[in-house]
Amino acid sequence: MTNEIKTIPLASDHGGYEMKTFLAEKLRASGYEVVDYGTHTSESVDYPDMIHPLADAVAQGKFPLGIIMCGSGNGAQLAANKHKGVRAALCWNIELARLAREHNDANILSLPGRFIAFELAWEMVQVFLNTTFEGGRHENRVKKIEI
Ligand code: RB5
């Protein structure tokens, strides 16, 4: 843990459940508090049921950043981005996770739980949590995302 963010909310469906469990352990071992919005088993569920409450909490300012997962990462990202003020980025490598913060001021990282290695996901989470928005030329672009 290298910045001031101490509490990280996580949410997934069954497709991201194993990755979420892995990341929660890694985060806790690194000194973060984890708020787990579920799901809590590998039983099939509908991803919006877990993703919307997390995205709402981020939109309300309860957490600066959040991490979500489903099998592909697509459904989770689509649901999260319905919330005003949420900028959820679907990423599958470290550079994309870095750029999501530096250029897009993304506040939610969406991960494809069935398509990338868990260790890579953990590296991406660390980069996402410890990278700041560059501002500058990106400031206006990000402002223009909201309609
Ligand atoms: C669940 O089988 C799967 O459809 C879901 O995790 C996600 O990939 C949807 O976008």
- pLDDT of 1: 55
- pLDDT of 5: 87
Give dist(CA 108, CA 100) in Å, integer. Answer: 9
Query: 3-state DSSP call for residue 138?
Result: helix
Give dist(CA 8, CA 27) in Å, integer. Answer: 8
Q: Check residue 46 and give left, alpha or beta (phi > 0: left; psi -120 to 50: alpha).
A: beta
| Phi, psi (degrees; rounded to nearest 5) at 106 | -60, 135
Whether the pTM exceeds 0.85: the reply is yes
**10-residue stretch averages of pLDDT, the chain, 147 residues long:** 83 98 98 98 98 98 98 98 98 98 98 98 98 98 95
To the query of whether residue 103 is one of the catalytic residues in this protein, the response is yes
Cβ atoms of 105 and 138 closer than 8 Å: yes
Task: Indicate which residue of 14, 40, 83, 103 is catalytic.
Answer: 103
- pLDDT of 40: 98
Protein residue whose Cα sits closest to atom 9 of ligand 1: 75
- pLDDT of 28: 98
Atom of ligand 1 nearest to the CA of 14: 6
Ligand 1 centroid vs 72 CA: distance in angstroms?
6
Going by the DSSP 8-state scheme, the letter that residue 109 receives in this structure is: E
Question: What does CATH list as the number for 7-143?
Answer: 3.40.1400.10
- pLDDT of 2: 53
Atom of ligand 1 nearest to the CA of 13: 6
- pLDDT of 112: 98
- pLDDT of 3: 64
What is the total residue count of the chain?
Answer: 147
| Phi, psi (degrees; rounded to nearest 5) at 94 | -65, -40
